[in-house]
Structure 1
Amino acid sequence: MSAVYKDDQEDWLTVCLKYLLFVFNFLFWVGGAAVLGVGIWTLLEKSDYSSLLASSTFAVSAYILILAGSLVVVTGFLGCCAVIREQRGCLSMYFFCLLLIFLIELVAGVLAYVYYQRLSEELKQHLNQTMTENYAQPGKEAITLAVDRLQQDFKCCGSNNSHDWMASVYISSEAAERRVVPDSCCKTITPLCGKRDHPSNIYKVEGGCITKLEQFLADHLLVIGAVGIGVACLQLAGAVLTACFIYLLYKEEEDFGTL
């Protein structure tokens, strides 16, 4: 009687774990879509500003999330098939895929967090130099577009203030046509509007563009880190459930073999 009860109990646990894994796979896909979405959104919407950064960590974190999100879509399908068929080989492969994606997303989250810690120092060291030395220079079109977008999007002028542009290679050249700031500093852009740096004409923001860009990037790094680490924890839970399911299937096969 106790053996029958034990068998029924194990069958019940197997069924429960099976349905739990189905629920997990749904959450897994949702989490994967979130990871993929955040990665693509970061690259498409924020890639312009990457050219203003000294390191590529910001972009690398986004690429890692896209890789992890893509793997989730494939792995989620594999997981459903493995659970339906109750094949230990497929489930073992699914288990190792979960661990791999867990590590990838954890790396993305940690990278984002580490870069968040040193973002302020990097911007202070490099942003002003990048803007003044590379703006409107041959072969630096990406930086020029990024600076123009930065100043218009955040309604700022110069790294720390508009006077930073006085040391600019561009402003000192004949190509500037006696501008004192680039036209993208103007509140309303018109040809040669950068000749007049009066507060009524150009943006005078306390702290300049550096404080605006730092806050913007910091917010997005926190999103990347939170999504990466959050979904990684979800996958770790899925790996534990899968391991338990594999163990129960192994026990069932072992018990069946002794009959």
Structure 2
Amino acid sequence: MGFFTGCARLLLITFNFIFWLSGAAILGVGIWILVDPNMKDYMDVIKDASNDDEFLKTAAYILIGFGAFVFLVGFSGCCGAIRSSKCLLAFYIFFLLVVFAGELAAGIYVAVFKNDINSKLNQGLAESIKKNYKDKLTTAWDSVQVELKCCGGNSYKDYENSTWANETGSVIPDSCCTQNATGQPENLEGCKKLLGGTYYEKGCKDALENWINSHSAILIGVGCGIAALEIIGLICAICFCRNIDREKYSSN
């Protein structure tokens, strides 16, 4: 029995080392989403168009919280394995279940809100431009259009009869004009009135949806990967606890 107990202990310690690394991965993904330089501008536009909370940021905060919690879970597992303590292992199993439930909830949250927001972007982006481009979202929309190489929500025509167009007399903003090798638009004045120069004819809706889907897939993928590891950890911990009982029974 000592051989099997030793193997179970080694497996549990090895798993917890991998689990610690996964905690660092969770933290890294969550922080990356929050510090992505385009994150704020993209989410400002999406939030204004969909009237929904910043679900990606919320999910990222959840990942960061659970990533930090994973270090505590791993510590309990290692101590329980080294000391053959059923009490510590019981805490470890409980913590694993808590992390698993939290990641499952975060995954469901992202999937539900992703589909809901995508369904609202078609009309919402055009309304966002017509009402808010001149005011609070000018910088955000300019950043989205330059980075994603697009113009407007569904197309550049979303700027027609907008508050900004009526006040400036331009048809499209500078950020819709294509840039040359130096990063400057060619024939800017002509481009803004569609009288010369080139501009982005496609809208930003598809590009924003792709951005949402790619970031959501990363969050869900990381959560599923860690959940699979946690199932292995649960099995190792339960087997180790059973071997402890058998070893004690055999020694008596």
TM-score when normalising by structure 1? 0.83
Aligned length: 239
Aligned to 1:196: 193
| Higher mean C-alpha displacement, 162-171 vs 111-120 | 111-120
SS at match of 1:179: coil
What amino acid is aligned across from residue 144 of structure 1 in structure 2? T
Instruction: Tell me, yes or no, if the aligned pair for 2:188 and 2:197 is still in contact at 8 Å.
Output: no
Distance 1:246-1:199 versus aligned 2 partners, 3 A rule = farther
Instruction: Tell me, yes or no, if the aligned pair for 1:24 and 1:238 is still in contact at 8 Å.
Output: yes
Shift, 1:181, TM fit:
1.7
Residues 72-106 of structure 1: CA deviation (Å, up to 9, x unaligned):
12322332222212212111111111111111111
Aligned to 1:7: none
Q: Share of identical aligned residues, percent? A: 36
Given candidates 91, 101, 110, the residue that maps to 1:93 is 91
Instruction: Tell me, yes or no, if the aligned pair for 1:14 and 1:249 is still in contact at 8 Å.
Output: yes
List alignment gaps of at least 5 residues for structure 1: 1-9
SS at match of 1:201: coil
Q: Distance in 2 between matches of 1:42 and 1:90?
A: 34
SS at match of 1:118: helix
Q: Distance in 2 between matches of 1:11 and 1:237?
A: 22
| Higher mean C-alpha displacement, 101-110 vs 125-134 | 125-134
**1:11 partnered with 2:6:** no
Query: How do 1:6-85 residues align onto structure 2 when only pairs under 5 Å count?
Result: 10-45=1-36, 46-53=39-46, 54=50, 55-56=52-53, 57-85=55-83
Q: Distance in 2 between matches of 1:125 and 1:40?
A: 31
Given candidates 233, 236, 252, the residue that maps to 1:238 is 233
Larger radius of gyration: 1
Shift, 1:25, TM fit:
1.0
What amino acid is aligned across from residue 107 of structure 1 in structure 2? A
| Higher mean C-alpha displacement, 188-197 vs 128-137 | 188-197
SS at match of 2:17: helix
Q: Distance in 2 between matches of 1:242 and 1:73?
A: 16
List alignment gaps of at least 5 residues for structure 2: none
SS at match of 1:52: helix
Q: Distance in 1 between matches of 2:196 and 2:99?
A: 51
Distance 1:15-1:198 versus aligned 2 partners, 3 A rule = farther
Instruction: Tell me, yes or no, if the aligned pair for 1:154 and 1:209 is still in contact at 8 Å.
Output: yes
**1:156 partnered with 2:147:** no
TM-score when normalising by structure 2? 0.85
Q: Distance in 1 between matches of 2:195 and 2:9?
A: 69
